[in-house]
Amino acid sequence: MQATNQAVQQAIDDCKECHAICVQTIQHDIQHGGPHVAPDHLRLLEDCAQICQLSEDLMLRSSPFSPAICEVCADVCDRCAVSCDQVGKGTDAQLRACADQCRRCAQSCRQMAHMRP
């Protein structure tokens, strides 16, 4: 049971951190302009931030909808990571950090999506 609680807490923490870095990355991208402000990329960052916040909230209150939302969150995080990699081309530290956190969050959320209450 303790391993389960630790996994849930890790997923909550990963979602919280992912939400924060996505919001920070939006501001970073706006300042840089050019390909950083491509509408699809910014929209994906916004979607990722929002779904991470929702996933965190649902996990905190042990909602029965949490596994389904965590599955969607994992998919959005994976897509956001790819977008950050493409826009940052591996040379932008903020986008690289965002992609890394998105991947951590996707992994944690996918684990939560397949946990049985």
| First and final C-alpha spacing in the chain | 11
User: Alpha carbon 41 to chain centroid distance?
Assistant: 14
The answer to whether 45 touches 80, Cβ cutoff 8 Å, is yes
pLDDT of residue 3: 53
Question: Tell me, what CATH number does 38's domain have?
Answer: 1.20.1270.360
pLDDT along the chain (117 residues), means of 10: 76 98 97 93 98 97 95 98 94 96 97 79
Other C-beta atoms lying within 10 Å of the C-beta of residue 8: 18
Q: Which helix (H) or strand (E) holds 5?
A: helix 2-32
**What's the domain range around 22?**
2-113
Number of structural domains (the chain) is 1
Q: What is the pLDDT of residue 1?
A: 41
Please provide the DSSP assignment of 82-97 as one string. HHHHHHHTTT-HHHHH
> Which pLDDT does position 117 carry in this prediction?
52
CA–CA distance, 91 with 116 (Å, rounded to integer): 40
- Predicted confidence at residue 114, as pLDDT, reads 87
